[in-house]
Amino acid sequence: MSFLLATTVTVGFNLASSPAFWVFLICLIGVVLLFLWTLIRQILFNRKSHAIQQNLKVGDSVKTFGGVEGKVVDIIDSPDGKMVTLETGKGKHVGYLTVDIKAIFTLVNQSNESEK
């Protein structure tokens, strides 16, 4: 009888020794790390974006998510949130654009603007 018990224990399938288990485990860890990396990047981007929106003032040169660059002319408090009026273009080709403050992507360096 002890022979039958010994054979069932040794014949049993050991999951940890299977190559498929390790491939699955590595893929699972990779997916979790990718998710965490994406989550952390989004949190850092939201912090940076919120800081830019809070410190925005008239005269700052900004760039929107749509790629429009301009200078902040006015900041308006509306029931829907803050709106920003941007002055775009130069000379006789000046235009004004009013966008939500959340559309501001980044501040444009003043040194880059003087080189253009």
Q: What are phi and psi of 88, to 5 degrees?
A: -120, 155
Decide yes or no: CATH 2.60.40 for domain 56-115.
no
Distance set, CA 5 to CA 2, 8, 13, 14, 59 (Å): 5, 5, 15, 16, 84
Contacts of 28 (CB under 8 A, 6+ apart): none
Residue 2 has pLDDT above 60, yes or no: no
Q: Rounded to an integer, what distance in angstroms lies between the CA atom of residue 33 and that of residue 35?
A: 5
Q: Rounded to an integer, what distance in angstroms lies between the CA atom of residue 83 and that of residue 79?
A: 10
Q: What is the pLDDT of residue 37?
A: 98
Q: What is the pLDDT of residue 12?
A: 54
Q: What is the residue-averaged pLDDT of the chain?
A: 85
Task: Report the pLDDT averaged over residues 85-106.
Answer: 92
Domain regions of the chain by residue span: 2-51, 56-115
Residue 11 has pLDDT above 60, yes or no: no
